[in-house]
Amino acid sequence: MLFLQKIQSFFQKKSAGFTLVEIMVSVALFTIVVTISMGALLTIVDTNRKAQTLQLVMNNLNFAVESMVREMREANSFAVDSTSRILTIGRIDDVNGTPRADVTFSLETINGIGTLVRKEGTGEKEALTAEGISVDALWFQKVGDTPARVILVLKGHSTITKAGTQSDFSIQTTVAQRNK
């Protein structure tokens, strides 16, 4: 009976509260778990920011290249300069057959950033790429005559620094002139 009383008194003392050592161990474990969780959360947020930046770059490049390709397919003639850096396309109005102003695509440096530029006739130059994209190289090569094809190579990087990384890109496509 004395033995049972000792066991009961032992458990009664334990149920009265936690010891200092138990509280310190539980706080230490809680701190470790929270620290690991916060590190994982910050990594996920950073990765998401980088993915959004890359998506922005890809959307802008897609728009710029598709704009060029659309006009190149409808062109009546292609002319590539001797440096292979400037492409001029000739166009004819489909309604009455009169020549329209030529369109020129080239790479120009604007505010220290390489920019893909479109110029129609003697009009103003317009940038096809956004400020966050720097085009480092642009190259055209005309292949064949009937139908004429142009190989387009575009290389560069994103200059958006809020994500903390630079995304490089390299695009190559071949555009065939539509038969008219």
Contact indicator for 158, 53 with CB cutoff of 8 Å: yes
State percent of the chain over pLDDT 90. Answer: 28
Tell me what pLDDT residue 12 has. Answer: 63
Does 121 have pLDDT greater than 80?
A: yes
- pLDDT: is 127 or 54 the higher one? 127
Q: How far apart are alpha carbons 13 and 163 in whole angstroms?
A: 56
Q: How far apart are alpha carbons 12 and 14 in whole angstroms?
A: 5
> What's the angle, vertex CA 121, arms to CA 140 and CA 135, rounded to 5?
35
- Residue 129 DSSP symbol: S
Does 28 have pLDDT greater than 90?
A: yes
pTM, two decimal places: 0.69
Nearest to 102 by CA among 115, 114, 116, 86: 86
Q: Where are the domains positioned within the chain? A: 40-176
Helix (H) or strand (E) holding 164, with range, is none
Q: How many CB atoms lie within 10 A of CB 32?
A: 10
Assign 179 a pLDDT band (cuts: 50, 70, 90). Answer: low
CA dist 101 → 37, 105, 175 (Å): 61, 13, 20
Q: How far apart are alpha carbons 33 and 50 in whole angstroms?
A: 26
pLDDT 10s digits, 125-156: 999 988 888 899 999 988 887 778 889 999 99
Tell me what pLDDT residue 16 has. Answer: 59
Query: In this structure, which amino acid lies at residue 78?
Result: F
Tell me what pLDDT residue 98 has. Answer: 76
